[in-house]
Amino acid sequence: MTTLVTDDLSTHKKLRKARISTLMIFLVCGIGLATWVPMVPLAKIRLQLNDASLGLILLCLGAGAMTIMPFTGSLINKFGSRLIMLIAALLIAAILPLLLFASTSVMLAVALYIFGVGIGAIDVSMNAQAVIIQERTGKYIMSSFHGFFSLGGLIGSLGLGFLLGLGLSSTVAIFSISGLLALISVSQYTHLLPHSEEKQVETATLIIPKGRVLILGLMCFVAFLAEGAILDWSAVFLQFHRNFTASTSGVGFAAFSVAMAIMRISGDKIINQFSSQKVVLYGAVLAAIGIFAAILIPYGIATIIGFVLVGIGCANIVPVFFSTAGNLPDMAPSAAIAGVTTLGYIGQLAGPALLGFIAELTSLPLALGLVSILLLIVAFTFNEK
C-alpha cells in the first residue's frame, strides 16, 4: 500500500513538473513570435515597403511554418515532442536578431522563413505534449497553456521597446531576449514528458488533413487568421490609420494579448462549466464585433477596445479546436494536431500576407473587415460532436 501511494505521489509530481515546463515553452513561443510585432513597422519603414511588398515578405514566415508542420507529427513520433521543442526554441532564439538587423528584403525574407520553421515546429510539439498532460490530468486545462502563450505575447510585444527605453542598444536588447528564450528552453527540457511516455501509432511522414481534421483545420484557419491579423497588422493600422507613433503602435497588440491571456487563464473553468460549442459561438461573434468596432469607429481608443474584444472572443476558440483534435479516435494527438495546426497557421502566418494584397487593392480596414465575416461563419458552423 505504501509503495502504491509513493508511486502515485511520484507520478503526480512528475506530471506537475511536466505541466509547468510545458507552460514555460508556450511562454517562449509567445515571446519569440510577439517580439517580431514591433519590428514589422520598423521593417516597413527601413526597407521602404508598401503594404503588398510587406505582405509578400510576411508570407515567408508562414511558408516556413507550413513547410515543417505537416512533417512535425512524424518527427514527434520518432524523436519525441520535447526534443523537437528544444531544437525549435533554440532556432527561434538564434534567428530573432536577424529579423531586427536585416538590411535587405531578401535577407529579411530568408530570416523570416527560418524563423517560421522554428515557430511551426515548436507549436505542434508543445500542443502535442499539452494534450497528453491534459489527458492524464483528467480535466480540461488546455486554455491555461495557451494563456501562457498570450502572456508571452504581451511580454514580447512590449519587451524590445522596454529594453530600448532603458537605454540599451538594439544589439544588447535583442540578444538579451534571445538569451532568455534559450535559457528557459534548456532549463525546462528534462522536466518535459519523455518520448517513451507519448502515444505511439503508425503515422505517415507527411500529415495531410482530411475528414474531421480538415473541418477543424479550416475553422482553425479563421481563428488563427484573426489572431494573425492583429499580430502583423495592428501596429501598422494604428500607425498609418490612427496616427500612433512607431514607439506606441505596439500597444494595440499588447492590449489584445492582455485580454487574451486573462481569458485563457480563466478559460479552463469557463469551458468546464459551459460547452465548447457555446465558447466558440459567443467567442467568434464577439471577436467579429471587435474587428468591426476597430475599423469603423475612427478613434484610437475605440480601435484599442476593438482589439481587446478580439482577444476576449478568440482566446478560447483555438484551445477548443486543439483539444478536440487531440482527442479524435484512432489518431495520435501529434498527428491530428499537426494536421489542424498546418491549416491554422496558413491563417495566422500566411493569411496576413493575403490581407496585405487585399489592402493594397482596396484598403486595410476592408481587408480586416473580411476577417469578421469569416469569424461569423465559424461561430454558427462549429459542432463539438
Residue at grid coordinates 522596454: 162
What number of other Cβ atoms are within 10 A of residue 202's Cβ?
7
- Contact criterion met (CB below 8 Å) for 355 and 229: yes
Mean pLDDT of 74-79: 86
DSSP 3-32: HHHHHHHHHHHHHHHHHHHHHHHHHHHHHH
What number of other Cβ atoms are within 10 A of residue 385's Cβ?
6
195 domain-assigned: no
CA–CA gap between residue 348 and residue 238 (Å, rounded)? 19
CA–CA gap between residue 84 and residue 168 (Å, rounded)? 33
Q: Which residue has the higher pLDDT, 294 or 351?
A: 294
Nearest one of 334, 309, 311 to 322, comparing CA atoms: 334
**Tally of structural domains, the chain:** 1
Instruction: Give the CATH number of the domain where residue 102 resides.
Output: 1.20.1250.20
CA–CA gap between residue 132 and residue 331 (Å, rounded)? 13
Q: What pLDDT digit, counting tens, does each position of 152-210 carry?
A: 887 887 788 888 888 888 889 889 999 999 999 999 999 998 877 666 544 445 555 56
Q: Measured in Å, how far apart are the chain's first and last C-alpha atoms?
A: 41
384 domain-assigned: no
Q: Give the domain range for residue 40.
A: 12-188+205-379
34 domain-assigned: yes
How much is the pTM?
Answer: 0.74
3 domain-assigned: no
158 domain-assigned: yes
385 domain-assigned: no
Q: What pLDDT digit, counting tens, does each position of 271-317 carry?
A: 778 778 888 999 999 999 999 999 999 888 999 999 999 999 998 88
Residue at grid coordinates 512607431: 246
5 domain-assigned: no
292 domain-assigned: yes
Q: What pLDDT digit, counting tens, does each position of 150-164 carry?
A: 788 878 877 888 888
CA 168 to chain centre: 28
Give the least confident one: 34-43, 44-53, 69-78, 335-344: 335-344
CA 94 to chain centre: 19
